[in-house]
């Protein structure tokens, strides 16, 4: 299905920042429609694996590839929950440092999913590559 859909509901989307996500979706990855004029809807620094990765908004520094190509860039994107790992492979999804202007207004904008400092040269939820040093999802009551 679809991953992130930003669209009018009771009002139109105004200032939107979608950044630092790793998305694996058979449907649309990130879709922004119907934003209010005079406001920016920005999509930047994400890694999106979808046959329709990113549409709408002001896009910058995203890494996009087809859904089927996720395994060429992530440790274990299609495994069972017990082995699922969206950490980048060594050298994957890197580029020049992202322009992070305005992101400091957001809590934890400068750390990745594992709470490691990021320099924004690797796209998606993580700041490293190779072996995931952090949390792996598990199915258990909380």
User: Could you tell me where the beta strands, DSSP code E, fall in the chain?
Assistant: 4-6, 16-19, 22-24, 28-32, 41-44, 47-49, 52-55, 58-60, 63-65, 74-76, 85-88
| pLDDT tens profile 45-85 | 999 999 999 999 999 999 999 999 999 999 999 988 888 99
What's the confidence (pLDDT) of residue 87? Answer: 97
Judge whether 38 lies within some domain: yes
Judge whether 138 lies within some domain: no
When pLDDT is averaged across residues 23-29 and rounded to a whole number, the result is: 97
| pLDDT tens profile 103-134 | 999 999 999 999 999 999 999 999 999 999 99
Q: What is the largest CA-CA distance in the chain?
A: 45
Total domains present in the chain: 1
Range of the domain at 11: 4-105
Judge whether 122 lies within some domain: no
| Residue 137 pLDDT > 80 | no
Nearest Cα to 76, choosing from 3, 121, 123, 132?
A: 132
Judge whether 94 lies within some domain: yes
What's the confidence (pLDDT) of residue 81? Answer: 84
């Amino acid at each position: 299905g679809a991953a992130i859909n930003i669209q009018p509901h009771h009002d139109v989307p105004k200032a939107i920042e979608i950044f630092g996500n790793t998305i694996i979706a058979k449907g649309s990855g990130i879709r922004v429609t119907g934003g209010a004029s005079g406001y920016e809807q920005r999509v930047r620094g994400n890694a999106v694996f979808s046959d329709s990765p990113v549409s709408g908004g002001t896009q910058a520094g995203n890494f996009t590839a087809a859904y089927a190509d996720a395994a060429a860039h992530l440790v274990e994107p299609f495994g069972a929950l017990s082995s699922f790992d969206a950490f980048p492979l060594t050298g994957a999804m890197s580029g020049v440092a992202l322009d992070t202007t305005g992101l400091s207004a957001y809590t934890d904008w400068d750390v990745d999913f594992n709470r490691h400092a990021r320099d924004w040269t690797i796209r998606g939820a993580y700041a490293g590559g190779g072996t995931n040093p952090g949390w792996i999802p598990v199915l258990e009551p909380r």
